[in-house]
Amino acid sequence: MCVVRSAAAILAAETRNTDLRKISDTITRLAALRAGPGFQSNGQGHDRLSDLGDFGSNPGALRARIYVPDDLPEAAPLVVVLHGCTQTGAGYDDGSGWSQLADQEGFALLFPEQQRANNPNLCFNWFVPSDTKRNGGEALSIRQMIEAVVVEYGLDRGRILITGLSAGGAMTSVMLACYPEVFAGGAIIAGLPYGSAKTIPEAFDRMRGHGAPSERQLQKALRDASPHKGPWPSISVWHGSTDQTVASCNADAIIAQWRAIHGLDARPTRSETVDGHRRHVWCNAKGQELIEEYRIAGMGHGTPLDTAGDAALGAVGPFMLNVGISSTRHIARFWGVAKPCVERDAKVKPARANNESLAASFARAFSTPKVGVPNVPHSEKRANTPPSQKPDSAAGLRKVIEEALRSAGLMH
């Protein structure tokens, strides 16, 4: 109880302070409070990721990191993973076990990574309007990374998925709203709905569950974020029932926002118990699972893990919580990129993205460098990449990508 009261006191003090601290700073102190004296804000295990080099104008000044299994099959899926505040791509991978699962199931991973120059505590800026609109800021940087890695490794455009925790979960909401044609599915862990905040004070309020826009306003924000007309991505929502950092009512708001876009009833199609936790599912008329929700009883703020047994994935740490269920594995099964373990999963038909042509503004931004923002040097590609697909330089990689865009009628 003293931890909960202390966390609440920190948040209250922040909102009273006329010189309001950045939201990321508060989250860092909450993390230290909960994790104890041994907390390391950017500590991580073994770094399995490589750098993706030149991927476009990068208006959000983000870093791009990737993991590609050596035996990656042709036209493999791509999973985009967005870390939370105080985390790095490698640290979140080590905790969540995504690269372990990629080795087992044969898909590529992209980890967009925040930089301290953008946010001192490495939070994606999910509440900054210039970073959360289609073809601008951090959202466009992530979109450019996706295009670059899909072209470079010949990945399946119909199976691009995205997930994230906390600020990364809120940024996942941004990407699904701004580029719904790109993604077959998304998974939001302890996140917030798109369009819920546009300022730091609003972000604090929404995290506490106060003053949220109405369902109708959130639904309009989602529809207005892009010119897309559907079909829309499937959505997986995970939240701890005792989360004191991001109130669990945000999960309800996310579900309501996406139920409307899918035209689904308020009541779930069915409810069941999975690994001891309740799962609610909303299906369309064809029986296709479009929305799922896991509300983890007694869990605080973080990514749900199962680190025991033969199916164990990830490692416990700050915001990485061993509660007997692997969100990583179950999200991948929901998307259809991991083997099912029960008959119910075998019957699920995963959605595929309905990619539309890129907007002209994206094509221009992709080929226009941002002044003063160098791209991260590219490490050597993995052995499974055919020599004919290995550009000799950043300029070569850009040529390959631009040629692919032109051949698809997406760039002139």
The yes-or-no verdict on residue 372 having pLDDT over 80 is: no
Please report the pLDDT score of residue 400 as a whole number: 54
Please report the pLDDT score of residue 309 as a whole number: 75
The tens digit of pLDDT for each residue in 175-207 reads 999 999 999 999 999 999 999 999 999 999 999
Please report the pLDDT score of residue 239 as a whole number: 98
Cα–Cα distances (Å) from 265 to 62, 223, 260, 269, 334, in that order, read 38, 18, 8, 8, 20
Least confident range of 2-16, 114-128, 143-157, 246-260: 2-16
- Band of pLDDT at residue 405, cut at 50, 70 and 90: very low
Please report the pLDDT score of residue 410 as a whole number: 37
Please report the pLDDT score of residue 133 as a whole number: 97
Residue 130 CA to residue 140 CA, distance in Å, equals 10
Place of tokens 């109880």: 1
Residues 311-325, mean pLDDT to the nearest whole number: 95
What does the domain layout of the chain look like in residue ranges?
A: 45-335
The yes-or-no verdict on residue 390 having pLDDT over 80 is: no
From 166, 248, 326, 327, the catalytic residue: 166
Share of the chain above pLDDT 90, in %: 69
- Number of residues written out for the chain: 412
- Band of pLDDT at residue 341, cut at 50, 70 and 90: confident
Q: Fold for 45-335, please state it.
A: Rossmann fold (3.40.50)
The tens digit of pLDDT for each residue in 223-244 reads 999 999 989 999 999 999 999 9
DSSP string, 65-97: EEE--TTPPTT--EEEEE--TT--HHHHHHHH-
- Band of pLDDT at residue 411, cut at 50, 70 and 90: very low
The yes-or-no verdict on residue 367 having pLDDT over 70 is: no
pTM for the full model?
Answer: 0.79
Q: Strands 160-165, 78-82: parallel, antiparallel or unpaired by DSSP?
A: parallel
Residue 65 CA to residue 110 CA, distance in Å, equals 6
**Coil, strand, or helix at residue 98?**
helix
Residues 334-343, mean pLDDT to the nearest whole number: 83
The tens digit of pLDDT for each residue in 294-316 reads 999 999 999 999 998 778 999 99
Question: Across 42-56, 96-110, 358-372, which has the greatest mean pLDDT?
Answer: 96-110
**Coil, strand, or helix at residue 142?**
helix
Of 98, 223, 85, residue with least CA distance to 165 = 85
The yes-or-no verdict on residue 163 having pLDDT over 50 is: yes
- What is the sign, positive or negative, of the torsion defined by CA atoms of 270, 172, 81, 147? positive
- Band of pLDDT at residue 211, cut at 50, 70 and 90: very high
Please report the pLDDT score of residue 399 as a whole number: 60
The tens digit of pLDDT for each residue in 83-117 reads 999 999 999 999 999 999 999 999 999 999 999 99
Q: Is 173 a catalytic residue?
A: no
The yes-or-no verdict on residue 277 having pLDDT over 90 is: yes
